[in-house]
Amino acid sequence: MVSVIRLYAESDDQQKAQHFGAVLSSRGVQVEIETVEKLNARFFRLNPELALCVDENGLWLCAHGMKMQPDWQAETGRLKRASLKSEMIARACHLAEKPSLIDATAGLGHDSLLMAHLGAQVTLVERHPILFTLLEDTHTRAQSDVFLSQVVSRIQLVFSDSADYLKQQAEQHRTVDVVYLDPMFPQRDQNQQAVKKQAQVKKQMQLLHMLLPEDGEMDLGDNLLELAQKIAKRVVVKRPRLAVFLAEKEPHHQWQGDACRFDAYFQHELVAE
């Protein structure tokens, strides 16, 4: 995991840079702030190493001439088009019932944003301090957006290892309606070459893969399924369409799409405390 990272900012944004530096330091990441004359395309081409930058639009991850952040504003169009009938994830997670839901594999938070828009009360769990800080900044900025403010009011961010968080919920006898899992690196456990060929990594994901190296079974999510089943009435796992089952465990039901599917595991005997 990244323990030291450079943070670029223009002189006008030094206060924001200092703020993010302090936040990341409190989460175990040493930040080296560097003032630059201009954060532009040429600068990013000349400074290709993995770093952070801050500007009037918030905190960004940057590398190899690219920069990215969890851009929830860009999801507004999709949210406005979405409905309980049109979204497969809504049927899989039973969003019509406005469930309490833990998203234990946060990523960029786009699925959580959609599920919150469709009525879920979402707890978004992320263990990586830099990705969590990016999500936190995006969540804060979305609160001032007229459309998104109501949506993000239904999203709570938790800085924690998902396995630890799920264990804690079980120890405290807490239950939720749904735990949602979308492992970051599903392609590593494919048993069919065709699946690897269909996964075209976008620029955003390229940077995420640089930040989050494949460093263990946590990223596959296998260990999360059993933990999730202890506290959730329904566990929903998003998978590439041809992927093997998570933890090699056959689901009770599936919803199939062209590129992905949702595997569901039901716990009919589990009731809220």
**Binding region for S-adenosyl-L-methionine:** 126-127, 182
Nearest to 123 by CA among 106, 102, 105: 102
Q: At which residue do the structure tokens 């993010």 appear?
A: 20
Whole-number Å distance between alpha carbons of 198 and 188:
13
Whole-number Å distance between alpha carbons of 60 and 68:
5
Q: Taking the chain, what is the end-to-end CA distance rounded to the nearest angstrom?
A: 37
Annotated binding residues, written as ranges, equal 126-127, 182
Does an H or E element contain 236, and which?
A: strand 232-240
Question: For the chain, what is the radius of gyration of the CA atoms?
Answer: 19
Which strands sit side by side in the sheet containing 4-9, from one edge to the other? 30-35, 4-9, 51-55, 58-63, 66-68
